[in-house]
Amino acid sequence: MAQAMLQLFCCCPGPTVLCCKELLFGDVEDTIDLGKDPDHQYITSIHRNGQRCTPRSGYQHDIVWKPKVIFQDGRTYEGQWKGKLRHGQGKELSRFNDFVYEGSFKNDQYDGYGTMTWSNGAKYVGQFRANEKHGYGEEIYSTGERFCGYFENGRVHGRGQYFFQDQTTLKGDWEDGRLINELSTFAPGEVAVAS
């Protein structure tokens, strides 16, 4: 029974507190203590052969995993919550399944590393802050062209490289979505761009 419960908890990306491989492949007697409230349950401790396993560093007991939640506007979310806010790792899907965000949330906003994918083939993989592309990222457009570089408040801003369909590229400094200084090369390590 403990093995089945551990498999259930370890296979979902919720707030498990230990290494899943170690638990699923060991021949040991494990038990789980669960915290409960009306909306969710979470692991508070795991005992291995009578020894209590401690939570990993940085684990927050107030961040919990909830299965799919459907919002009034039709969006769905599955992932971690802190109180009534999406907080931690999660996945948001639009009402019509034409947009997906999967990654980090902070105080109910996209924040940290994540991936946005649209049904037309466009995609952004990179850093976010307060629901905006912010930091280093790679944006692939529905045309197949792409940009690798820095973003600020949702716009291309800083060093980056644009890759055109005809295989040519444009390197430069960008400000508020506009190229302000074309460059022939970048200094080593200045901008890590995909080829």
The pLDDT of residue 145: 96
The pLDDT of residue 193: 56
The pLDDT of residue 189: 65
Q: Which domains does the chain have, with CATH numbers?
A: 2-53 (no CATH), 63-183 (2.20.110.10)
Poorest-confidence range of 44-58, 70-84, 150-164, 181-195?
A: 44-58
Mean predicted confidence (pLDDT) in 7-35: 36
The pLDDT of residue 191: 65
pTM over 0.75: no
83 pLDDT above the threshold of 60:
yes
The C-alpha R_g of the chain, in whole angstroms, comes to 21
Find how far residue 10's CA is from the centre of its chain.
18
Mean predicted confidence (pLDDT) in 175-187: 89
